[in-house]
Amino acid sequence: MTNDSDTLIRVEDVRTHFFLDEGVVKAVDGVSFDLARGATLGVVGESGCGKSVLARTIIRIVPRPGRTIDGAIWYHRPSEGGGERPIDLASLEADGAEIRDIRGGEITMIFQEPMVSFSPVHTIGDQIVEAVTLHRNATREEARAIAVDTLRRVGIPNAESRIDEYPFRLSGGMRQRAMIAMALSSNPTLLMADEPTTALDVTTQAQILELMADLQEEFGMAMMLISHNLGVVAQTTERIIVMYLGKVVESADVRTLFRDPKHPYTQELLKSVPKLRRRRQTERLAAIYGSVPSPYERPAGCPFHPRCPQFMAGECDVIEPTLKAVSEGHSVSCLLYSEETDS
């Protein structure tokens, strides 16, 4: 546990597994990271690496047959009289009063599946008002005023009348803005956005990312942005963790990660990020060799070794690397670097 007054969330060796008839899926398998108050963190990796399950683990909404079986999630909860009180979210009753108070209020999430965030049968206004009255000690009138104001701030024109629309009546971009408004309206300490722009066209995607960066600064909340697209998180966040098969394989600030990526997986992911000044428009983006293995058949040793261009036989398929610091604030889990740091 930490006493750093700056820390908002400290995740320690968290494991969330799905216990299926076919076997155990280790969706999140020993993940640790820190998130400071007001800081931004990007979480990247290919489909199935555990990004969404990690976010769900933090707010304790992992669906059955999934369970968080290990680890701690220290949330430095602001207390009413000022100051803070660290509580381990992983140890709370998943449906108890405390986590329900935090979830949707202090820690909010924009879901990958849009219709999980919004119910189709209520207007967006009713849904935001509901969240605000529940978490902000406001009357319905006050909550409605907050809702209109937040909708306006996320760039929804005619917010006073749009507030009474049903979600399906909004365009994809406007619905995404409304979801951001809902996630912001409770004035959270942490907003987790899971692939918030994937369903949008490129222009709208850029606008939404810019909006999120502006709002993060304005509201001063911490933000965790999840995407399979390294380019998207690099634009919007300061630090990045790269995940592969439920584990963090590299963690660094954005500049370091782009200039000096250490893990071969990160290097491959970077090759698939579109460059602004690509020599020929027709030049194809590289795809990473091979595909993510079945979750039931985790390779022995380093889980990336069957796809790794720098595979060392007899080592990478035998020894499982752990996350180690290669420089301050830069960690990598790869046997190529294990000697430098072993002492």
Ligand X SMILES: Nc1ncnc2c1ncn2[C@@H]1O[C@H](COP(=O)(O)OP(=O)(O)OP(=O)(O)O)[C@@H](O)[C@H]1O
Instruction: List contacts with ligand X (CB under 6 A).
Output: 18, 20, 25, 27, 45, 47-53, 63, 66, 112, 228, 295
- Least distance CB 58 / Mg ion (angstroms): 14
Q: Write out the H or E segment, with its range, that includes residue 323.
A: none
Nearer to ligand X, 73 or 138 (CB): 73
Nearer to Mg ion, 39 or 49 (CB): 49
The strand pairing partners of 16, in sequence order, are: 28, 68
213 close to 292: Cβ distance less than 8 angstroms:
no
Nearer to ligand X, 150 or 333 (CB): 333
Residue in 185, 189, 208 with CA at minimum distance from that of residue 198: 208
Which partner in Mg ion, ligand X, none is near 105 (CB below 5 to 8 A by kind)? none
197 lines the binding site for Mg ion (CB under 5 A): no
273 close to 231: Cβ distance less than 8 angstroms:
yes
Which partner in ligand X, Mg ion, none is near 63 (CB below 5 to 8 A by kind)? ligand X
For the chain, helix, strand, coil in percent to 5 are: 35, 25, 40
52 lines the binding site for Mg ion (CB under 5 A): yes
Nearer to ligand X, 49 or 148 (CB): 49
Give the interface segment with Mg ion, choosing from 111-119, 149-157, 260-268, 288-296 (CB under 5 A).
111-119
Record the tokens describing residue 208, joined without a space: 């939404």
- Least distance CB 47 / ligand X (angstroms): 3
Nearer to ligand X, 17 or 177 (CB): 17
Distance CA 214, CA 222 (A): 12
- Least distance CB 50 / ligand X (angstroms): 4
Q: What does the DSSP assignment read for 27-76? A: EEEEEEEEEETT-EEEEE-STTSSHHHHHHHHTT-PPTTEEEEEEEEEEE
189 close to 107: Cβ distance less than 8 angstroms:
yes
Which partner in ligand X, Mg ion, none is near 167 (CB below 5 to 8 A by kind)? none
Q: Which residues are near Mg ion by CB under 5 A? A: 51-52, 112
